[in-house]
Copies of this chain bind each other. A is one copy, B any other.
């Protein structure tokens, strides 16, 4: 079980390509909860799982606060039902936002492609004109 090894801050930084500052910041914002052995921070398997989710969340534009909400959904244990239901609603809202955004993104990709065919022809004709002028 080298899987639930405990890692220092530096090992974490190297593994996930983040700075120490970032990890401490996430701890301050209650996104991570490393063990405090004296002064040092020690990151568990759980912290690594959370960090992966944080980094992925960031890649499609979630705020850290939103990510914290989602992490609560993931790691929800024996909480109150109301709280769980509430967080579940948030996730549903977020999901439909994401689907809408994906659709808009697809549309924009198509339009941009169209526009670029325009630019392509533009370039070609200007190239022609340039050759003809020589």
Contact = CB atoms under 8 A, between A and B. Distances in A.
Given A101-B59, A102-B102, A112 B84 contact: no
B60 A123 contact: no
Interface residues of A, number: 37
Interface residues of chain A: helix, strand, loop or mixed (majority): helix
A119 interface: yes
Given A73-B119, A123-B85, A101 B105 contact: yes
A123 B81 contact: yes
27 contacts: A56-B104, A56-B108, A59-B101, A59-B104, A60-B105, A61-B61, A73-B119, A74-B115, A76-B119, A81-B126, A81-B130, A84-B122, A84-B123, A85-B123, A87-B119, A88-B119, A88-B120, A91-B115, A91-B116, A91-B119, A92-B116, A94-B112, A95-B116, A98-B105, A98-B108, A99-B109, A105-B105
